Amino acid sequence: MLLIENLDAYYGKAHVLHGISLSIDEGDLIAILGRNGVGKTTLLKAIMGIEVIRRGRILFRGRDITRLRTYEISRLGIFYMPDDTGLFHGMSVLENLRLSAGRKNIDLSKLEDIYPEIRGLLNRRADLLSGGERKIASILRSLLKETDLLLLDEPTEGVMPIMVKKIYSMLDRLRKMGKTIVIVEPGRNSTQ
């Protein structure tokens, strides 16, 4: 599904990623772990064409997406959740979901299949949710678009253990639905 060949990525003149090659098959759930500053987020941003200069090739379902703009990559079926979730503060979860879907009427049944507790979050403001609830609401946005590949930046970082369990249960359901998922998480030792 996703093939990365000899990828270099830069922030300005800072060379962050050096010759990265990676192959991800449809239906995979891949975790990329490492301490802060090693380029995990940069890899996701390079795939999406966000803020970095890239060299090398990135293929999605055989199509070269290396030079495409971020919105073009998104339209091909790739969803990116930044570590700050990308939800709009001051708006309700329902308003955020509608904005993501690009329409007022959305089918909540698909979201409830993945996360039955979603109805309890719909009328709450995104900025007043717990960290775990924000992550869940953000991931659920991927179901409102035709996305096949989810790139999730630190979906459980700073989240209470009970919410971590809910997030991973939800991700397992998404994988069983045929979604391909790439998760970036920091290392779990104290010397990050």
Quote the DSSP letter at residue 144: G
The structure's pTM equals: 0.89
User: Tokens 């990050």 — which residue?
Assistant: 192
- C-alpha 59/C-alpha 79 separation (Å) is 15
Domains of the chain (ranges, CATH numbers): 2-186 (3.40.50.300)
**180 bridge partner residues:** 149
Edge-to-edge strands of the sheet including 78-81?
29-34, 180-186, 149-153, 78-81
Pairing of strands 63-64, 53-60: antiparallel
pLDDT in tens, 97-120: 999 888 899 888 889 989 999 999
| pLDDT digit string (tens) for the chain, length 192 residues | 999 999 999 888 889 999 999 999 999 999 999 888 888 999 999 999 998 878 999 999 999 999 999 999 999 999 999 888 788 999 999 999 999 888 899 888 889 989 999 999 999 999 999 999 999 999 998 888 889 999 999 999 889 999 999 999 999 999 999 999 999 998 765 343
